[in-house]
Structure 1
């Protein structure tokens, strides 16, 4: 392939290629495929639906859940029972199956995620092991171990669906679901999922509820499993409980890892491999555990990222050879919303704050006031309580006593994501930049809780969603231009050098025009030129009306930037005042700078 041909291909909208593959799958039987191949292709499409649900939970939200087999079974038996009782309309069956699977996902996800860590994986997998027992308990309805039979052939708009037409229906349902998944994953919610997977702390600091977001990912991932179950039930008009056990659960996991769990279309690739590979072997069942172990090792270790990652690397290599560079969005300050660069900072008042870890008193009656249009600096030796205070203002620690008031409300009882939604933004001592998202996407996450829009609106690309996306992009580009990173908007954020990553964090924190901005050692590890650049940006934020609390070890930088300085030592404020007072305060010089009493006197 010539590089000019590759550049022409790259100018084609990305959605065209998967749609073309979907259309090809629809017409595949016209090429003279035998019954066996067509049937396996149909089962692979059904399996791909189940795998896509796992990908959303595991690959994007970062939560391992093994309950897709249970949701698949719930969808299958829902459709089967409806058919047995005369409700043969496939649309009714699919909708009911998706709803029941969603309910099962919520019922297993709520307690599993509340317990945390591996609890969801264990809870959901335990449900899979219980499937035979549950079916046996209701054997009069489900057929128990003998399976459910007596189903009637499905109908669509009053007409019976023959086998050839049913294959087309299966592929169309898969295409429709992948379109839904694509719109969700490529939306601001998809970036939020990826941020959550990389760093729950960062997600929470962006106003994203970690528990609610993970539950949402798991519950939405249950829906395609239910749809797949309904389609599977109508494939042979018979449902066997043996179809939903441990082997199937491992098939789904292996397909997800082989295809690429953090991939939209990797689910289909993995499903095709599993359906046309080991599932065709009659001896496979005898050695299922060994084969699945091999597949999981290959996919998880040797093929990190699955086949989708190889495809992505190949595209990137061709892009470099052809010199393809994605167009950088234009900076349009006029489109960035009303108010220009104005930041409506609010008054922060910390009164009598106390915090102890075991017997260690980290903060003891700390008082602090930060005003709009000022930089309030917080300095002190290591272990003095600075980071603890910042984490308490940000909602990551709960206070033992005292009040944290911002504007007309109090923060000390709120969770970190709720604090962020109240307008508190922050940077971190070590830049917290998720992998596999661009510089522009990283900054846009700072607006996630500012102008909220539902996932339904994102999936359907409703007018409100399109307006919010335009505002997100315009505001992000305005701020990137301010920090000097506009020309790197489409680059991978985690590949930036340290100085630019700190600038990126600052841009992400300020893009939402926060009521309070917490800056945690932003100059750490930077050279003199980068420090001067950061200092100028902080001055601009102050001039725009922002309320800034700065924790910094660079005393010279603090003296240049701060309007008011608070000095912490052993969890208590030992001095406060303007820079000219603090730099001559004997106690500060002794306890913070380590200057002896004799040197201070001289």
Structure 2
């Protein structure tokens, strides 16, 4: 049995979808009836619309129902052009896709600018306006009566029969889901999942949250426009009632049921909807009530859809036969001792830069978090930042990273002034950091999680990723080699294919350091990186931090473990009540009277005795 499972695992992940795609295209020659062929046709069209929602909602985490508007745009544009200008299916599919992309950009900009649930609300109102807009443009759309007289589809001048039209639709569907698969399984797919998990994390990796969300929403509009172009030819008649709120909820239901965070979940959900509720003639009368109940039940019991349940079953079966040991291996002995970067195979020299903070001030209402703090951190040194809770340590890091705006003061990285810069620009300037709670999206491996740190430093365009061009392939090979090197350095290379979010807290912290290191930072900010680790893990972490320092990076360590700080730091800066109260070597700080009073409470203990 184990041998059989191992053989199954050697089969490429794309093999089964490819076989199913071929069967879908060849369905007319497999003896199916005309009624079944029509249901498959409508399933393909609904799956195209649903895949756009899966991309923006399932992967980017931005709920938007605007696919209905893009669907209507493609349908009516195709119908009008086919009747009055040119009737070529392929050309009209391209035109509809481009028009829907434009509509997606126009409708997405204001919603994403406002943030929060604004895109969901603006797209919701856009859906409600679609029938009204169709009636206002009655001269072109036929208004409430509908668009009548759409001709039979033609391709390169040849009239398509119902069978050849079905084949064209199925081929387009297979091509689109191949495009989506290539996009989702590329570095862009991981970036979208990081964005869904935490926009803060995404921006810390140099990703522009606004731009990536807008890109996902706009790209998700393309299959909706294509579906609209195909739908115009199905019955050769378009009615405003086909593009209302009920369609928007249908698409949402298909995405949730099939699995919004799945490449092929849209196909599963669309098939169930077409062969289930949408086939009933009595369904439309009670559609909204049924959909409401359905979404509540499906969202509660099948949170990741049927595709999610299938993936979970596959993981359980795989883990049963091949369960990895989730532990961190020792840091290689080559990292021990005073040797320099050239003697450390696997840790190339890193381009450190001086961090200079001058007169930094920040208030939150009536609370002064920082009161004119000035300090520096030099390349090739570990600068520790310590102080009691509420002293302003994390506030200072957040201001360096651009999460908070400065009230006064300047922040410089080398010769670059980054004061007031947005977080993703600060990250691109060479600042990388860890967080008090390590964050990793579900369902991505340790290797993919670490490679996310290279997303912007070694950027590859979406088109190159989709078409798997040589630039993408070269970058993918380089990513794999570098992540292997970094993971080996951290001591977790044996966990490269394990889900990152499933690891123990201590191991996740090591993986997070690896992700930060993968971006080759000039300045590395470590925020409570030893929190929750046992003694062995702390020892491994200390060796790793020393190795990073010796490679040339500027390391800023915020840590409550005073013993670890004394062992690691070259320079210690002490904050209390938003002010810098002491600065010096570990030996000087260890016996500093005010530090002992403010940070360790020694005076209070003496007074009580």
- The Cα RMSD (Å) is 1.7
User: Of the candidates 514, 519, 526, which is equivalent to residue 512 of structure 1?
Assistant: 519
1:329 corresponding residue in structure 2: none
Q: Is the 8 A contact 1:208 1:417 kept in 2?
A: yes
2:168 corresponding residue in structure 1: 169
2:254 corresponding residue in structure 1: 255
In the TM superposition, what whole-angstrom CA distance separates every residue of 1:218-263 from its partner, at most 9, and x where no partner exists?
Answer: 0000000000000000112111111100111111000000000000
2:335 corresponding residue in structure 1: none
| Superposed displacement of residue 340, structure 1 | 5.2
| Superposed displacement of residue 8, structure 1 | 2.3
| Superposed displacement of residue 35, structure 1 | 1.6
Q: Give unpaired runs (5+ residues) of structure 1.
A: 327-332
In the TM superposition, what whole-angstrom CA distance separates every residue of 1:308-362 from its partner, at most 9, and x where no partner exists?
Answer: 0121122123323444889xxxxxx9xxxx9952111001110111111111111
| Superposed displacement of residue 4, structure 1 | 3.6
Q: Is the 8 A contact 1:3 1:321 kept in 2?
A: no
| Superposed displacement of residue 599, structure 1 | 4.5
Matched, 1:144 2:151: no
Q: Is the 8 A contact 1:258 1:298 kept in 2?
A: no
User: Of the candidates 595, 598, 602, which is equivalent to residue 591 of structure 1?
Assistant: 598
Partners of 1:358 and 1:199 in 2: how far apart? 26
Helix, strand or coil at the partner of 1:575: strand
Partners of 1:125 and 1:406 in 2: how far apart? 44
Partners of 2:473 and 2:34 in 1: how far apart? 45
Q: TM-score, normalised by structure 1?
A: 0.96
Helix, strand or coil at the partner of 1:354: strand
In the TM superposition, what whole-angstrom CA distance separates every residue of 1:116-173 from its partner, at most 9, and x where no partner exists?
Answer: 1111111111111111111111101110011112222221122111110000000000
User: Of the candidates 534, 542, 552, which is equivalent to residue 541 of structure 2?
Assistant: 534
Partners of 1:422 and 1:188 in 2: how far apart? 21
Partners of 1:388 and 1:316 in 2: how far apart? 41
Partners of 1:149 and 1:8 in 2: how far apart? 55
Matched, 1:215 2:211: no
2:573 corresponding residue in structure 1: 566
1:59 corresponding residue in structure 2: 58
| Superposed displacement of residue 201, structure 1 | 0.9
Matched, 1:371 2:378: yes
Matched, 1:496 2:503: yes
1:96 corresponding residue in structure 2: 95
Partners of 2:121 and 2:75 in 1: how far apart? 23
Matched, 1:156 2:155: yes
2:367 corresponding residue in structure 1: 360
Helix, strand or coil at the partner of 1:522: coil
Q: Is the 8 A contact 2:346 2:485 kept in 1?
A: no
| Number of residue pairs the alignment of both structures matches | 590
Matched, 1:231 2:230: yes
Partners of 1:277 and 1:536 in 2: how far apart? 60
Q: TM-score, normalised by structure 2?
A: 0.95
| Superposed displacement of residue 584, structure 1 | 1.2
In the TM superposition, what whole-angstrom CA distance separates every residue of 1:256-303 from its partner, at most 9, and x where no partner exists?
Answer: 000000001111010000011001111101110122123212321111
Q: Is the 8 A contact 1:258 1:295 kept in 2?
A: no
Partners of 1:598 and 1:250 in 2: how far apart? 65
1:415 corresponding residue in structure 2: 422
Q: Give unpaired runs (5+ residues) of structure 2.
A: 326-331, 333-344
Q: Is the 8 A contact 1:86 1:152 kept in 2?
A: no
Partners of 2:420 and 2:305 in 1: how far apart? 43
2:328 corresponding residue in structure 1: none
Partners of 1:31 and 1:437 in 2: how far apart? 38
